């Protein structure tokens, strides 16, 4: 009998005992291919001995110091390494313990920045519909996540939302990528103008929308247009790279693809690759300058912010990634995965809009590719597919816009090799084939 509160209280879960590389094992001896790195997190795979060694070493030396009393070498090193990897003058780092806390820190920094610049009326942060930035109340207030918000209405900030950049569902027939990028960016500008830019501190976007939409890759040119709009309207740009950051898309940061330098960049998940709860925020110098000139120490944090054990863990993860040239692997295996997924989509009518970059891929289930109609929400499409994959010993991440929930995320550990990618695709095909039969049955009902 379990006493641990899980996501679905009455659901039973296998008991995981250990992991190795892209595989996890349970107490019944079953093997699972971790096709989504848990929650796009276990980026260097499971059971990496050298990370465990580094953690042991740091814990034996000193596991915890408090940030207002001491600094520590691992946290300083980590800040230096991340700011050197990041685009532009993102020259400062602050560490927290979860993506949600990174979002909260970004809100506080953005509002603090404008207050110190003498514009205290700028306090709103605009997100987009179909997005996710975390479950704490500030983070959820910026999240256009229809399934997670309704229970907390009165507790949320009354921020408004811009439309998504989601070509498969929202581009007009015949509209090309460039035109759609322009239209989606203009819609964002309109949302800011509707709120009065004089009250808007920042906008926040995921460069590729993860769980809320199932890997929504924006049209080329969209992000750089957003940067230009934010500059023009005097609004800060926060880019949430909690999923995409630290190599997931084949570069250290997805913002780099369009040479966009956000004012604040959020990291989480892959930063420690799941070995320790660490997340972080990178800040451009002008933000930090304003905060420093102002009323004192701005980066209020949390007890565990920048603790040596967490930082040493992240350093070991970065060492591992650099030594093995993981970014090159992400690009190569990404191409293999893309090819495999596109090939499946030509053979199965229920599978549509294969989208992604590097080792972050998603697609949707539809009744048929011509109509693009999503299965009825009551059918629980994504969860049905998760079960079909589980039957093949493959773990995938359910996603998609609520209530449709008809999308899925594939994001294996970035260390996956060619053979393991082939195995993943073979398992996936069996599960998609089973879905094709479900969809045929649903259509006939
Ligand atoms: N931002 C994004 C883009 C995320 O995907 C998530 C988590 N899925 C978060 C923020 C929140 O991170 P955490 O769950 O670590 O609080």
DSSP letters along 70-113, please? ---HHHHHHHHHHHHHSSTT--EEEEESSHHHHHHHHHHHHHHH
pLDDT tens readout for residues 287-322: 999 988 876 555 678 999 999 999 999 999 999 999
Ligand 1 touching residue 132 (CB < 6 A): yes
**If you average pLDDT over residues 105-123, what whole number do you get?**
94
Q: Domain 52-323 classified CATH 3.40.640.10?
A: yes
| Every domain of the chain and the residues it spans | 16-34+325-444, 52-323
Ligand 1 touching residue 209 (CB < 6 A): no
In the structure encoding, which two tokens stand for residue 385, read together? 């597919």
Residues facing residue 397 across a β-bridge: 409
Determine the Cα–Cα distance for residues 355 and 338; give it in Å rounded to an integer: 8
Q: Which helix (H) or strand (E) holds 351?
A: strand 351-357
CB atoms within 10 A of CB 3: 4
**Ligand 1: nearest atom to the Cα of 100:** 16
Ligand 1 touching residue 243 (CB < 6 A): yes
Q: How confident is the model at residue 4 (pLDDT cuts 50, 70, 90)?
A: confident
Q: How confident is the model at residue 194 (pLDDT cuts 50, 70, 90)?
A: very high
Measured N-to-C along each axis, helices 418-444 and 326-347 cross at an angle, to the nearest 10 degrees, of: 30
Supply the pLDDT for residue 416.
Answer: 98
Q: Is the full-model pTM beyond 0.80? A: yes
In the structure encoding, which two tokens stand for residue 50, read together? 């050298």
> What's the CA-to-centroid distance between 132 and ligand 1, angstroms?
7
The CA-to-CA distance between both ends of the chain, in Å, stands at 39
Ligand 1 touching residue 104 (CB < 6 A): no
Ligand 1 touching residue 134 (CB < 6 A): yes
Q: Does the pLDDT at position 263 exceed 90? A: yes
> What's the CA-to-centroid distance between 100 and ligand 1, angstroms?
6
Q: Which of the following CATH numbers is that of domain 16-34+325-444: 2.60.40.10, 3.90.1150.10, 3.30.1330.10, 1.10.540.10?
A: 3.90.1150.10
Q: CA 204 → CA 53, 104, 131, 173, distances in Å?
A: 37, 12, 9, 28
- Residue 205 sits at the vertex; the CA angle it makes with 202 and 206, to the nearest 5 degrees, is 150
**If you average pLDDT over residues 410-422, what whole number do you get?**
98
DSSP state of 199: G
């Amino acid at each position: 009998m379990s006493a641990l509160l899980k996501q679905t209280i009455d659901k039973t879960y296998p008991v995981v005992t250990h992991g190795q590389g892209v595989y996890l094992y349970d107490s019944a001896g079953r093997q699972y291919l971790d096709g989504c790195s848990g929650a796009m997190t276990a980026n260097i795979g499971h059971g990496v001995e050298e990370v465990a060694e580094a953690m042991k070493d740091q814990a034996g030396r000193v596991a915890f110091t408090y940030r207002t009393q001491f600094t520590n070498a691992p946290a300083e090193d980590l800040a230096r390494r991340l700011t050197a990897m990041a685009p532009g003058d993102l020259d400062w780092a602050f560490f927290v313990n979860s993506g949600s806390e990174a979002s909260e820190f970004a809100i506080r920094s953005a509002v603090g920045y404008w207050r110190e610049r003498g514009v205290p009326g700028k306090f709103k942060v605009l997100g987009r519909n179909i997005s996710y930035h975390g479950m704490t109340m500030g983070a959820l207030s910026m999240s256009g996540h229809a399934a997670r918000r309704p229970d907390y209405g009165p507790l949320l900030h009354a921020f408004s939302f811009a439309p998504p950049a989601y070509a498969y569902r929202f581009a007009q027939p015949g509209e090309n990528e460039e035109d759609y990028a322009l239209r989606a960016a203009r819609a964002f500008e309109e949302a800011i103008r509707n709120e009065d830019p004089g009250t808007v501190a920042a906008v926040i976007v995921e460069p590729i929308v993860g769980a809320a939409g199932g890997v929504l890759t924006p049209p080329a040119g969209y992000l750089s247009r957003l940067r230009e709009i934010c500059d023009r309207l005097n609004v800060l740009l926060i880019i949430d790279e909690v999923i995409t950051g630290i190599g997931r898309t084949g570069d250290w940061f997805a913002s780099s693809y369009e040479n966009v330098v956000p004012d604040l960049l959020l990291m989480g998940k892959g930063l420690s690759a799941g070995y320790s709860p660490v997340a972080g925020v990178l800040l451009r110098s002008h933000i930090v300058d304003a905060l420093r000139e102002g009323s004192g120490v701005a980066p209020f944090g949390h007890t565990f912010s920048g603790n040596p054990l967490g930082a040493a863990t992240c350093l070991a993860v970065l060492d591992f990634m650099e030594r093995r040239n993981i970014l090159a692997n992400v690009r190569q295996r990404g191409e293999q995965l893309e090819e495999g997924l596109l090939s499946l989509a030509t053979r199965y009518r229920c599978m549509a809009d294969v989208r992604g970059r590097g080792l972050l891929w998603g697609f949707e289930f539809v009744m048929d590719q011509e109509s693009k109609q999503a299965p009825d929400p009551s059918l629980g499409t994504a969860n049905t597919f998760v079960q079909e994959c589980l039957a093949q010993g493959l773990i995938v991440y359910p996603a998609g816009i609520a209530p449709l929930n008809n999308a899925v995320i594939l994001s294996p550990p970035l260390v996956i090799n060619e053979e393991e990618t082939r195995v993943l695709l073979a398992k996936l095909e069996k599960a998609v084939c089973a879905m094709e039969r479900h969809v045929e049955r649903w259509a006939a009902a």
